[in-house]
Structure 1
Amino acid sequence: MAQRLLVIEDEPTLGRLLSYNLVQEGYEVVLEDHGTAGYDRALKEHFDLIVLDLMLPGMNGIDILDKLRGQGVRTPVIVLTAKNTEDDVVRGLKSGADDYITKPFGVSELLARVSAVLRRISGIAEEPARTNDPEAASIILGQLEIYPDRYEVSLGGQSINLRPKEFEVLLYLARKPGVVLTRDDLMNAVWGFDYIGGQRTVDVHVSSLRKKLELDPESVHIDSIRGVGYKLVVNKKRTPVLGQ
């Protein structure tokens, strides 16, 4: 069965171009040219991936992303931005985008990014359930509690709302507390070896995580290792326990 894609793009020529080329690659494509209509469709129907323009009538791309993630929709999203500024990229990633492309872009670049995201998501979906793995149940580090199967995190008994990619970054760090992990380590583990985006993606997600972990920085925090990467630091007065 063909993978189903939703393209939300209000520029008619670009919308038709994207739709045509994606169909030629074997995808089933639904095209919407209005933000509100695109959001409603993404919320009510199943799609394997969404290609989302940030500048849209009715509801902009950031609002769409925020609302979808707030509703628990984890469909991977590639955002299209016409502005080659860091702020737009950061806003999109913080809102839960899986990848981004800056206009103007080549069709081959878009197709490569769509294929890469779908391969990564498919690989995750096909992983066998680890019902006998104690790490699958929970990870407890100081006051930090992580439940991988449920994508839930609490700190000091208080629930923390994380975007899917923020959760995956935290989970990878938590599986190796105190160990310095490079940006490449995190990029490959969370986004996949064939992810085309830059390491700035990792920095944005770590920065967002830090703000959310400020709830109890004495229990757990993320340290930067200049020129290398990051490590999760747990209060030494607490003994890390895995699998409880």
Structure 2
Amino acid sequence: MTVLLVEDDAPFAEALAAELRACNHQVTIAGDGRAALACVDRDRFDAMILDRMLPRLDGISILERLRADDRTLPVIMLSARGAPGEKVEGLEAGADDYVVKPVATAELAARLQAVVRGRRWPAGGGAAGGAASADTLRAGDIVVSPSRFRAWRNDEPIDLVNLELKLLAEFVRNAGSVLTRAMLIERVWGYDFEPTTNLVDVYVRRLRQKLTANGADDPITTMRGVGYMLRG
């Protein structure tokens, strides 16, 4: 995997890059925000590990620029700042994951694999054309194929990151039933506790935006104080 590591702490960056290279990743280091954007313009990367506090251009601004330009490069924000509101801000800006320093290299490498896997969708036709696989899930006009990391609405593909697709698949599997935030946290994120942040609400909001991007109605109902339900 080719990884762009954006980190202004040079000793830390070199140490982390060495550990990732030992995991068979190719790593390029950018020491500030503008250098990071220049690297993205010049070279192709499978993923970016992005520090939040950077000279010249901070991590949130980099994310906003990437997403405004419709760049779908998977990004893990890696920061010493881990307050709930800061995590939510990073996710809302477009990060696929938010990891607080320090983190074990093995965990970071696993998270890299997860965010990249969610973007490697095979090319091919839409669900109606027979491209959907045997694990296809359907609810109304929404189709999800978890094994192929693909989703459609009204036969139009939806560009989802890994966690968004997992969230949509969980909704489709349970269409017509209420899913609490605690249930979603356990089934989508794999946590056995409900965090104090509004992480689920952030991802539901992002999912809603993509499901309604072409003017379609919002298929997700908010059950106030309880959770959410996808209408079947």
Question: TM-score if structure 2 supplies the norm length?
Answer: 0.69
**Among 118, 121, 142, which residue is 2:116 paired with?**
121
Task: Give the 3 Å change call, closer, same or farther, for CA 27–117 of structure 1 in structure 2.
Answer: closer
- Residue 96 of structure 1 corresponds to 94
Task: Give the 3 Å change call, closer, same or farther, for CA 165–223 of structure 1 in structure 2.
Answer: farther
Partner SS for 2:56: coil
Alpha-carbon deviations, 1:5-30, whole Å to 9, x = none? 10000111211121111112111100
Partner SS for 1:69: helix
Report the number of matched residues.
212
Contact 1:165 / 1:205 at 8 angstroms: preserved in 2? Answer: no
- Residue 49 of structure 1 corresponds to 47
Partner SS for 2:57: coil
Q: Give the Cα–Cα distance (whole angstroms) in 2 for the partners of residues 171 and 66 of structure 1.
A: 26
Task: Give the 3 Å change call, closer, same or farther, for CA 68–188 of structure 1 in structure 2.
Answer: farther
Contact 1:151 / 1:167 at 8 angstroms: preserved in 2? Answer: no
Partner SS for 1:46: coil
Q: Does 1:6 align with 2:13?
A: no
Partner SS for 2:82: coil
Contact 1:55 / 1:81 at 8 angstroms: preserved in 2? Answer: yes
- Residue 58 of structure 1 corresponds to 56
Task: Give the 3 Å change call, closer, same or farther, for CA 13–211 of structure 1 in structure 2.
Answer: same
Q: Does 1:151 align with 2:158?
A: yes
Partner SS for 2:200: helix
Contact 2:119 / 2:162 at 8 angstroms: preserved in 1? Answer: no
Partner SS for 2:70: coil
- Matched AA of 1:113: L
Give the Å deviation of 1:181.
Answer: 3.1
Contact 1:65 / 1:96 at 8 angstroms: preserved in 2? Answer: yes
Extract unaligned runs of 5+ from structure 1: 153-162, 234-239
Q: Give the Cα–Cα distance (whole angstroms) in 2 for the partners of residues 231 and 90 of structure 1.
A: 22
- Matched AA of 1:55: M
- Matched AA of 1:181: L
Task: Give the 3 Å change call, closer, same or farther, for CA 118–167 of structure 1 in structure 2.
Answer: closer
- Matched AA of 2:38: D
- Residue 84 of structure 1 corresponds to 82
Q: Give the Cα–Cα distance (whole angstroms) in 1 for the partners of residues 120 and 156 of structure 2.
A: 12
Q: Give the Cα–Cα distance (whole angstroms) in 2 for the partners of residues 165 and 120 of structure 1.
A: 6
Q: Give the Cα–Cα distance (whole angstroms) in 2 for the partners of residues 173 and 148 of structure 1.
A: 18
Extract unaligned runs of 5+ from structure 2: 143-151
Q: Give the Cα–Cα distance (whole angstroms) in 2 for the partners of residues 184 and 125 of structure 1.
A: 29
Alpha-carbon deviations, 1:193-219, whole Å to 9, x = none? 69xx96853232224556899999x96
Give the Å deviation of 1:33.
Answer: 0.2
Question: TM-score if structure 1 supplies the norm length?
Answer: 0.66
Q: Does 1:18 align with 2:28?
A: no
Question: What is the aligned-residue identity percentage?
Answer: 27
Partner SS for 1:125: coil
